[in-house]
Structure 1
């Protein structure tokens, strides 16, 4: 029998009204411009307070519950299954062919004009845009009795004006979408009936998708990023990934996490290696904030042009780029090795290999600082705090969605902050973990280990 505390359409509507009122009141009080569906709308609510961020997530949970109850269980499943993949495919295709720039942000375009810009048949363009309109990606407009034209909504305009948002869509949908769709078959072949997920990199969903070679002979997604494309387009995914990471850091205010992850000012003069540091955006923020820090950014060679373009001249004597794969032995001795959202991409064995590759140059007291995305994923029930606040489902989903992508791409996983200690211990007992701390936002965890001979 259903519990009396189960939400109803009426109670959910009241809850939505209450939460929406709180959020709207905060927006008015802080004089934050309100978002709308118009193309000139602000693209986001800037700097929501922690309290208002949680109010918004609770509002999203209630809206989702209302949508399910309004449809009923079976119809809500049918409607989701009917639209989920076409929605993702439409967004990925619009993004891949850059429909965003085919329509003026402050104007409109005919279907024929869009088709000419994206080099696709008019019929294909019409059908894609008709679905996009149902997603509030573009809108159809008609002046008098003239033919219909396409104009931007706030969602499509946000994509038109942000290469970072475009890179996010591409990295999540184009790079990992197809592997996710064969996750079921990969699990059936490689993990069914076994005590745990396969840890072999040749038994991932990504490896299964590429096994026949029709999508390229790539052993893992990093090879795809580095080598996909021909001529000037070779490595375009890697360049896109660099932009994606820059956007993520902006979206999640990661520079604040990096600045507060370690007691940098107390160290005075210190040398840092930023492994897999992409185009060095975080390194440059650190160097600017702390003038005694000297940083070597390490990543693959395809990243260096983006690093060179971003490096201010006044930091060139303290921030440098060095081509390096963290699967090779570390060549640079430093006081601190910084790994940001690196290890979560890999199974345990690869994580320990990455850490062991540091050992030949580690001096007593050298430190390894991990900044990892946790987002509430991976915790067993017994590991959760009984008296801690329950996270909204919409917030948990940030972590669980990333976790499933890692499963499909790498046989990796999002780990709760407490699990990283065992990764260091498995790499070498001389790593002593002295700090495991979740950042207040709930998205990231900080792990600090000291090398002790």
Structure 2
């Protein structure tokens, strides 16, 4: 009886919220959602229409639940072990680039482009169509682009992201359970599913550093991060003059801050090759206010700054290592004294340093977030486990992380700016003289 009531409730919600969204789009002469090749890549809902955004999210959350209820436990337990095989083949063979958007092609033409037999091209493409809306075949034997393959054909960054996820992250997921069995509760980043998938005793960072052909797409994957973090509008930059972006990659955050706040001087710290590439990409006119510097955050900080920013850095490291930029630990023969790292960086006496942690690594309890956000959080949490034995952190874990690092740190709290995925987590140094 309960299940019957739930499926009716879900179907009614889907119908009502879908109608609300369709009416809103129609009244503004906005296109209805489509997967045709000329469709918009995102649904054009104006920011001020919060009720329509909520309606869309409600439908997105309700549809999978209704589908699962109608499928039933027995069928749900069947693993789709061929799920992304065709997508990976399409990308590897560049079938999405075998003909232009707006044109059509045939399996024979795709065969000539890829070198595969016509039979195998047909099998791959039809699997991709039915499972992932890759391509369309409205007329038998005539292949056209869908919205998805049109987007891939026109965006190297989107294409690169999908390739990295399938070629690097997916194999790590397959080996994650093996790694957990071999190294129970390990916090080492070279004892992971990714390490096993590469038959290596090295970490993800070291593996990609030694293989530039793989490291370059991986670097582009993370440099394309455009996730809203609310950093510009929700931190008192007007009261600051200097910022050190530790692990700042190619400097996207520092560049945005420097462009918005002309009085700010920003330092970007990362590994040698990364900062060299970032400096080469730096927009003209910022050379004197965005400075790139090679730095390992497991060594003493040398830059004097008002703010030390770690954006999506700590979720790359287990607790054992995440406290090290602050902790007093002699592990590995390195000096991790927090005064040496922050306070002695130009603030030797009563200096108050406020490292602002801007990171997708923070999230609230499941009961306090939307289901879609909860799914994203949990997926990324397990993703960090399979890649690095690292973790996403819930809000209650941050105070303990600072306490573990050193009692001289005061946890200031965390907040999630409106519309942002990431949280701003803050602490300052009030340690002993």
* TM-score, normalised relative to structure 1: 0.82
Matching residue within 248, 251, 266 for 1:277: 248
User: Match for residue 232 of structure 2?
Assistant: 259
Pairing 1:409–2:387 present: yes
Judging changes above 3 Å, is the alpha-carbon distance between structure 1 residues 14 and 3 closer, same or farther for their aligned structure 2 residues? closer
Structure 1 position 77 matched with structure 2 position 70: no
Q: SS at the partner of 2:376?
A: helix
2:211 is the counterpart of 1:240:
no
Q: Which residue matches 2:330? A: none
- Aligned counterparts of 1:61 and 1:171: Cα–Cα separation in 2: 27
Q: Give the aligned partner of residue 424 of structure 1.
A: 402
Q: Does 1:369 align with 2:356?
A: yes
Task: Work out the CA distance in 2 between the residues paired with 1:326 and 1:116.
Answer: 51
Q: Paired residue for 1:393? A: 371
Offset at residue 119 of structure 1 (A): 5.2
Aligned to 2:189: 201
- What is the deviation of 1:45? 2.1
The answer to whether the Cα contact below 8 Å between 1:35 and 1:43 also exists between their aligned partners in 2 is no
* 446 and 310 in structure 1: CA distance in 2 versus 1, 3 angstrom threshold: same
Within a 5 Å distance, the mapping from 1:82-97 to structure 2 comes to 83=80, 85-97=81-93
Name which of 285, 293, 305 aligns with 1:334.
Answer: 305
What is the Cα deviation at residue 153 of structure 1? 0.1
How far has the Cα of 1:296 moved from its partner?
1.4
1:118 positional shift: 4.3
Report the alpha carbon displacement of residue 425 of structure 1 after superposing the two structures with TM.
1.8
2:53 maps to 1:68: no
1:376 positional shift: 4.3
Equivalent position to 2:210, from 227, 230, 236? 227
Shift of 1:290: 0.2
1:21-71 residue CA offsets vs partner (Å, 9 max, x unmatched): 222233334554333121111001245555433332221222112212332
Q: 1:281 deviation in Å?
A: 1.8
C-alpha displacement of 1:318: 0.6
Name which of 12, 15, 18 aligns with 2:16: 18
Q: Does 1:302 align with 2:273?
A: yes
Aligned counterpart, 2:143: 150
- Please give the secondary structure, in 2, of the residue aligned with 1:44: coil
Change beyond 3 A, Cα 1:347–1:442: same
Match of 2:122 in 1: 126
TM-aligned CA deviation for residue 140 of structure 1: 2.2
Alignment counterpart, residue 444 of structure 1, candidates 408, 422, 427: 422
The Cα shift of 1:395 comes to 2.6
Cα shift readout 1:299-333 (whole Å, capped 9, x = no counterpart): 22333465245321111111122233333433323
Task: For residue 291 of structure 1, report the CA deviation from its aligned partner.
Answer: 0.4
On the 8 A contact 1:403/1:413 being kept in 2, the answer is: yes
Does residue 103 of structure 2 align to residue 107 of structure 1?
A: yes
Q: Distance in 1 between matches of 2:188 and 2:39?
A: 47
- The answer for unaligned runs of 5 or more in structure 1 is 192-196, 229-233, 385-389
> What RMSD over aligned residues (CA atoms) do the two structures have, in Å?
2.7
The 8 Å contact of residues 374 and 443 in structure 1, kept in 2 or not, is answered as: no
Please list every run of 5 or more consecutive structure 2 residues that lacks an aligned counterpart in the other structure: 328-335
Paired position in structure 2 for 1:387: none
TM-score normalised according to structure 2 size: 0.86
Q: CA deviation at 1:120?
A: 4.8
Aligned pairs, number:
412
Could you tell me which residue of structure 1 aligns to residue 58 of structure 2?
58
The offset of 1:339, in angstroms, is 0.8
**CA distance in 2: counterparts of 1:31 and 1:359, whole angstroms:** 59
Deviations 1:355-406 (A, max 9, x none): 44564252211221101215746x4x7xx6xxxxx54423311111111111
Give the conservation status (yes or no) of the 8 Å contact 2:21–2:52.
yes
Report if the CA contact (8 A) 1:375-1:398 is conserved. Answer: no
Distance verdict in 2 for CA 1:283–1:99, change over 3 Å: farther
Q: Residue 376 of structure 1 contacts residue 400 of structure 1 at CA under 8 Å; is this kept in 2?
A: no
Equivalent residue number for residue 41 of structure 2: 43
Distance in 2 between residues matched to 1:335 and 1:424, nearest whole Å: 19
Q: Specify whether residues 153 and 58 from structure 1 end up closer, same or farther in structure 2 by C-alpha distance, changes over 3 A only.
A: same
Say if 2:228 and 2:420, in contact at 8 Å, map to a contact too. Answer: no
User: In the alignment, is the contact (CA less than 8 A) between 2:61 and 2:371 conserved in 1?
Assistant: yes
